[in-house]
Amino acid sequence: MLAYIVQITAYSAEFVALFMAVFYLLTFIENKDEIDSLEEPADYPSVAIVIPAYNEEENIALTIASAANLDYPSEKLKILVMDDGSEDKTLEAAEAEAEKHPAKDIRVIPNPHGGKAKTMNSAIKIIDSEIMVTLDADSCVSPDALKNMIPYFSKSDRVAAVVAAMKIRDPKTFLQKIQSAEYLFCFYIRKMNSFANGLLVTPGPFSAYKRSIFDEVGGFDEENITEDGEIALRIQKHQYSIEYCHNAEVFTSAPKTIKALKNQRVRWNRGTIRNFVKYRKFFANPVYGDFGLFIFPSTVVLLSVAFGLFLVSAANLMVIAAKKFEYGTLFHVPPLSFDNFFRFDRFFIQPTAMQIISLVIFGLSLVSLYFIRKYSPKDFKNMTLFYVPYLLVYYPLFVLGFWAITVFYELTHRKLAWHK
């Protein structure tokens, strides 16, 4: 019985994956001429960059320097470093770095410790710029990123936010390089989703918002551990759009150990679950257009089916192992035999339906490699060697494993904790 459940779940996962792969391919074909079609605005809006920082004395100087070196009219750029009651020397390091850029409008503002969302809400209250940009204190932005993002606000009056292309800063360990490949793969998916107004998060490392949008939808949720995901869904709820700028690069730090990665992803997952529950009215709701009818439901279904396949496959393996152990064949290695090894019919491949679908999905996924190679060629060269292990090992073992831990924490009401 369990074997049948595994098979049904596997086919369901294959169908959803095939559907998504075809969707991304058709979206790419339909919109490929528009990817680089935006023109530079005649007049740039005023921008305030907010850098919330808590115990970031090792990173804050580099982050401020990258913001100060942005290629943007100086008279229209402000930088606010919002110290969140740091217990180390973050405040002193920020003030020292600000003094190195006297030509820039940089303010370092101390705040009592209240969390990232509360710190950013404090910044919103004092900002009078047209655009507000968030920049995490452990991230660095490329000089042309802001100029590349601003034109997206001119596409429509309904554009509320624009997000940058996140990449891993200086990946050294194997685990960090695997994450680098993951981020680059998401590079393609997020761009395709943006054409259907389907972005589910405005990441902290570098996202730009119309300052006026907060007057309408409210500030960041101070009780939420993934405030950047919650604000994105709230923007979608008010039927505004979020754009993705593929040529605005921001480089963020990545966990170096499996434990740190687990803590980060479990926080993201738990926040995602709570945000999806909070905004469950999106599901199959035509009021929210493509986002409600396709993006939100497909994300929920894909996560559910993938996690279900992981659980039933694990259960099936345990049952098989238990039977082998019972009959004393768990560690039995069959003798090597070459009988009939060179039979002629063995040279004819008879693939199953599952194998055919898998090959089609793999072929369609090559489009993502083409996209990355074209729009991020330097990263493509560094990523190629790690793409296969990322695809075949990282997702089945790590990502789904982290989701298993997430569900366990949620069911046991484990206390929520904030991890990078």
- Rounding to the nearest 10 degrees, give the CA dihedral for residues 358, 364, 366, 367: -160
Tokens representing residue 318 in the block: 């345990």
Q: What is the Cα–Cα distance from 74 to 291, expressed in whole angstroms?
A: 37
Q: What is the Cα–Cα distance from 171 to 177, expressed in whole angstroms?
A: 5
- Helix/strand/coil (H, E, C) string of 253-309? CCCCCHHHHHHHHHHHHHHHHHHHHHCHHHCCCHHHHHHHHHHHHHHHHHHHHHHHH
Would you give per-residue pLDDT tens digits along the chain (420 residues)? 666 776 777 777 777 778 888 888 889 999 988 888 788 888 999 999 999 999 999 999 999 999 999 999 999 999 999 999 999 999 999 999 999 999 999 999 999 999 999 999 999 999 999 999 999 999 999 999 999 999 999 999 999 999 999 999 988 888 888 888 888 888 899 999 999 899 999 999 999 999 999 999 999 999 998 999 999 999 999 999 999 999 999 999 999 999 999 999 999 999 999 999 999 999 989 988 888 888 898 888 877 877 776 676 667 667 666 766 655 555 555 565 555 545 545 544 556 666 677 777 777 777 888 888 888 888 887 776 666 666 667 766 788 888 889 988 998 988 877 666
Domain map (residue ranges) of the chain: 45-284
The CATH code belonging to domain 45-284 is 3.90.550.10
